[in-house]
Amino acid sequence: MFKKIAFLLFTISASSQMVNEITDPVEWVNPLIGTQSNPGFSNGNTYPAIAMPWAMNFWSPQTNKMGHGWMYGYTDMKIRGFKQTHQPSPWMNDYGQFSIMPTVGKIKVKEDDRESFFSHKAEIAKPYYYSVYLADYDMTTEIAPTERAAMFRFSFKKTDSANVIIDGFDKGSYVKIIASENKIIGYTTKNSGGVPANFKNYFVIKFDRKFDASGTFSGDVFSAGNTEIQADHAGAVLTFKIREGEQLVARVASSFISPEQAELNLKEVGNRSFESIKNQGKQQWNDVLGKVKVSGGTIDQMRTFYSCLYRSVLFPRKFYEFDKEGNPFHYSPYNGQVLPGYMFTDTGFWDTFRALFPFVNLVYPEMGAKMQEGLVNAYKEGGWLPEWASPGYRDIMVGNNSASIVSEAYLKGLRGYDIEKLYEALLKGANNAGPMEAVGRFGADYYKTLGYVPYDVKINENAARTIEYAYDDFAIYQLAKLLKKPKKEIEFYKNRSLNYKKLFDKSSGLMRGKNKDGKFQSPFNPFKWGDAFTEGNSWHYTWCVFHDVNGLAELMGGKEKFAMKLDSVFSLAPVFDDSYYGGTIHEIREMQVANMGQYAHGNQPIQHMPYLYNYAGKPWKTQYWVREIMNRMYLPTPDGYCGDEDNGQTSAWYVFSALGFYPVTPASNEYVLGAPLFRKAEISLDGGKKISISAEANSSENRYIKSATKNGQPFTENFLRHDEIIKGVELKFDMSNEPNTKKGTTDEDAPYSLSLEKN
């Protein structure tokens, strides 16, 4: 009995043990977080992305059928292949995809026939390395990726019939076996939209030995000895005789430009060993993750933090390649041409303008500047800025949040690209409906004449659009000032950014759809999801006045009433009206089960809301709720997220919040304070400068800031200025288990709001 008690105490101690120093941050990453998901309930809706930071190509084990958005499910028991993927989200699905699957014995090309049982007990998943034992074939597959290529290592037992199946997938594919070079070339065209008519992903696979037999297949029909096939669903099978102890190595690369460029991309792996590629990948990840060092957290907190940091540097992905001279160029997903320069894709600005892009611009500004250059090219090639790119324009979500992406980057000091061209793009997008609803501003004419998008003109999610357009106008106002545009133009966008006021309903104290005649929609149910709002209800979107929280508080009757309204979000029952959708969508269910009232952290519109107590002079409430959300909504487990992870946004929220501050208003110079999660944190900036954060007394109980110093000087403000902290700053927080209800309570302590701006 004593031994059992002692063991229990040891395990409890181990789980809460403080980690004081780490040297390999990538080893704390768990790529399987969020993979225990399905279309009806999301714990992240992720897949294990085996890839380099921002890489053009990712790899993932595939447990689901070809074309299924949920390619890897943690509770699945069989693997069908190892897939090159460019999928940003299961809802967006994939493009540029093909798979490789080893088997033994009889040739089986159908996914259902060739799949093998596997166990997580015999699976290793790291960002730079994946390994799994395929039980039906008594062999192990390993993958080590680079940005545009990868190496596979297959460890078979002695056999005369070790097979490798290359599946080009359906919707148009091609393979050619070149036995004299131990090589297969091919292409796949399978996609989910957002591509020009000439879209192809060309691939090349080279093996380290000759094939003993080979053939191709079309659909389910295998043709032994055939060397070339173009079909709706083409593939190839290679067979090898393997001696005891031998390993089979395959080098793989792909290109969106040409077969020749795929061969050039294969030089990323060259003739180096598998271990060399693996070690290089580990070092590259440690270099990127090592820009942010934390210590003095529990094992689970460290794992969660670095796993979230990993997810924060995957998207937007590089959609460019390098020519023979080493110059970047790209296949344009907007016009189908091959053109010089950078291109990035696979991100939805509705999600990522909030925290993901601000995080990249703060910690990885060189990469952020390349992303802006990519946006210049996107505008030149497509005529509009994308709002959701995968790889080209996709017609989903609302808002014109490219305005925030562009303005925030320039405001934060990024340079070296054509900002005037981007400003031109912002004005075009702000005043015109685009070629599809999700490009430009759907309802632009109504917005320009009425100051809002009406509820009764058959434009869906109209209130959400209006509120986001107002913030986007603020972002343009901020950039116009920086670029010294005419005063009339500056004032125009400043005034339009106050349009959020037109939808504020004093009778409910909430945002509400408004008809063309100026009357509010009726009946009005603030718990109704969708309809006037996007994947949320009025309780979520009311707070989306990022740029003028003080103005919103004044509409509600002042700071005290504003704070009480914030309290209500957490205290209300998680009731909902799902009639707009005709059923309960997964975002609703995830709010309902979280036991946090109407707070729906699993979706983006309300994620900033806990920070708004700072504007009402009650920062301790932010400190309480932000810690509560980190503790309850994030875990380093397969069900560790509380909704869609969404291209790094939900992860970047955690990373920022754990560091102790958050960009409530991205297109401003300020971050709003929360409270640090770790006892120490350090962000390495350009030029050897550092943001040093210490909170020595931090603990699960001590979540409140008692006092704080900045470079040795006391400060009470509830915000940090970007232009100050990028010069290097030392922040120290004295933590307590009791809230300090006197710190941060004055008007001067409140973060930026447009209505308080001094002329």
331 Cβ contact partners less than 8 Å away, ≥ 6 residues apart: 256, 257, 319, 337, 338
Pair 126, 29: CB distance under 8 Å: yes
- Say yes or no to pLDDT of 15 above 70: no
Kindly give the pairing relationship between strand 504-505 and strand 510-511.
antiparallel
Instruction: Give the SS3 label for residue 351.
Output: helix
Mean pLDDT of 164-175: 98
Distance of alpha carbon 459 from alpha carbon 439, whole angstroms: 14
Confidence of residue 6 (pLDDT cuts 50, 70, 90): very low
Percent of the chain residues past pLDDT 70, beyond the cut: 98
- Say yes or no to pLDDT of 1 above 50: no
DSSP per residue, 433-480: B-SSTTTBTTTHHHHHHHSS--TTSS-TTHHHHHHHHHHHHHHHHHHH
DSSP per residue, 157-224: PSEEEEEEEEE--SSSEEEEEEGGGTEEEEEE---SS---TT--EEEEEEESS--SEEEEEETTEEEE
Top CATH class, 292-756: mainly alpha
Before 663, cis peptide (omega within 30)?
Answer: no
Quote the pLDDT of residue 632. 97
Mean pLDDT of 376-380: 98
- Say yes or no to pLDDT of 5 above 60: no
- Say yes or no to pLDDT of 16 above 80: no
Distance of alpha carbon 417 from alpha carbon 406, whole angstroms: 11
Pair 145, 285: CB distance under 8 Å: no
Distance of alpha carbon 211 from alpha carbon 163, whole angstroms: 10
Nearest to 167 by CA among 198, 144, 190, 137: 190
Quote the pLDDT of residue 759. 63
Which pLDDT tens digit goes with each residue over 601-649? 999 999 999 999 999 999 999 999 999 999 999 999 999 999 999 999 9
Segments making up each domain of the chain, as ranges: 31-290, 292-756
HSE at residue 245, side-chain half, CA atoms within 13 A, is: 0
Distance of alpha carbon 312 from alpha carbon 357, whole angstroms: 9
Q: Compute the C-alpha angle 598/599/604, nearest 5°.
A: 125
Percent of the chain residues past pLDDT 90, beyond the cut: 96
Burial of 280 from C-beta contacts in 10 A (0-12 / 13-18 / 19+):
middle
Mean pLDDT of the chain: 96
Domain 31-290 in CATH 2.70.98.10? The answer is: yes
Distance of alpha carbon 106 from its chain centroid, rounded?
A: 41
DSSP per residue, 476-512: HHHHHHHTT--HHHHHHHHHHTTGGGGGEETTTTEE-
- Say yes or no to pLDDT of 3 above 80: no
Distance of alpha carbon 728 from alpha carbon 692, whole angstroms: 8
Burial of 168 from C-beta contacts in 10 A (0-12 / 13-18 / 19+):
buried
Confidence of residue 21 (pLDDT cuts 50, 70, 90): confident
Mean pLDDT of 681-702: 96
Lowest mean pLDDT among 98-102, 245-249, 285-289, 407-411: 245-249
Confidence of residue 68 (pLDDT cuts 50, 70, 90): very high
Which pLDDT tens digit goes with each residue over 363-377? 999 999 999 999 999
Q: Compute the C-alpha angle 171/237/260, nearest 5°.
A: 65
- Say yes or no to pLDDT of 10 above 90: no
Number of helices and strands in the chain (H, E)? 20, 38
**Cβ–Cβ contacts within 10 Å for residue 244, how many?**
8
- Say yes or no to pLDDT of 392 above 50: yes
3-class SS string, 221-233: EEEECCCEEEECC
Q: What is the DSSP letter of 528?
A: B
Which pLDDT tens digit goes with each residue over 239-256? 999 998 899 999 999 999
Which pLDDT tens digit goes with each residue over 577-598? 999 999 999 999 999 999 999 9
Quote the pLDDT of residue 2. 43
Mean pLDDT of 181-185: 98
- Say yes or no to pLDDT of 69 above 50: yes
**Cβ–Cβ contacts within 10 Å for residue 482, how many?**
12
Distance of alpha carbon 136 from alpha carbon 193, whole angstroms: 36
Distance of alpha carbon 734 from alpha carbon 694, whole angstroms: 9
Distance of alpha carbon 318 from alpha carbon 333, whole angstroms: 13
Quote the pLDDT of residue 17. 83
679 Cβ contact partners less than 8 Å away, ≥ 6 residues apart: 18, 295, 296, 297, 694, 695, 696, 697, 698
Which pLDDT tens digit goes with each residue over 443-500? 999 999 999 999 999 999 999 999 999 999 999 999 999 999 999 999 999 999 999 9
